[in-house]
Chain A
Amino acid sequence: EAGVVQSPRYKIIEKKQPVAFWCNPISGHNTLYWYLQNLGQGPELLIRYENEEAVDDSQLPKDRFSAERLKGVDSTLKIQPAELGDSAVYLCASSSGLAGQETQYFGPGTRLLVL
């Protein structure tokens, strides 16, 4: 069974430039998560999707971050414009069943460096 796929694995951009991350969850998983992981910290939820609906985006900085999950499968997370403080690892995860109880399966992440 294929795991959660993320691309790119690494991205280096200059500040004020836009950047996008892509995630393909495990087949059949209706719940998709985007997390931000700063160096030396645990993952922090940015947004959670149930199928196509964003059910928890309270921690997403909406002035510069946006996300979409068309057709309830793949998802894209975008930052525009990027700031120096956005340098971090962006993790995508997916799960089936009930949020909060079900195992989340994580992708390898996209490491972003903003110069």
Chain B
Amino acid sequence: AQSVTQLDSQVPVFEEAPVELRCNYSSSVSVYLFWYVQYPNQGLQLLLKYLSGSTLVKGINGFEAEFNKSQTSFHLRKPSVHISDTAEYFCAVSEGFQKLVFGTGTRLLVSP
């Protein structure tokens, strides 16, 4: 069965600094990978997803992620964060037509 590990429960960063949120997964087959963002008191919103093709995926709000099959990782990056990026970020994985399995989330805290 697939699983997702988000090692960093919280990442503090200053505004306009770059950020990387780490995600590792375990699966014995090909997977689809997702990053969702959750703002306070709101539902989850898709940032980006990898299904196939280019391993560098660009998403909304200036975020991008790179699929690394050999390291079973799908880290999320942004070159310059804004205060409004403060939120909870969830990495998720699915195998084929199976359900999404979410990680425990990383809280991104952007300070002025």
Contact = CB atoms under 8 A, between A and B. Distances in A.
Interface residues of B, number: 25
Contacts of B103: 42
A42 B104 contact: yes
**Interface range, A side:** 20 to 34
B43 A4 contact: yes
Nearest to B98: A100
Interface of A: 3-4, 40-45, 48, 56, 91, 93, 98-101, 103-109
Given A40-B105, A41-B105, A42-B92, A100 B43 contact: no
Dominant SS at the A interface? loop
Contacts, number: 59
B95 A100 contact: yes
B105 A104 contact: no
A71 to B, nearest CB: 23
Nearest to A45: B99
Interface in B31-54: 32, 36, 41-46, 49, 51
A81 B18 CA distance: 48
The 10 closest A-B pairs by CB, nearest first: A42-B102, A106-B43, A100-B94, A106-B44, A100-B97, A103-B46, A45-B99, A108-B43, A107-B43, A42-B90
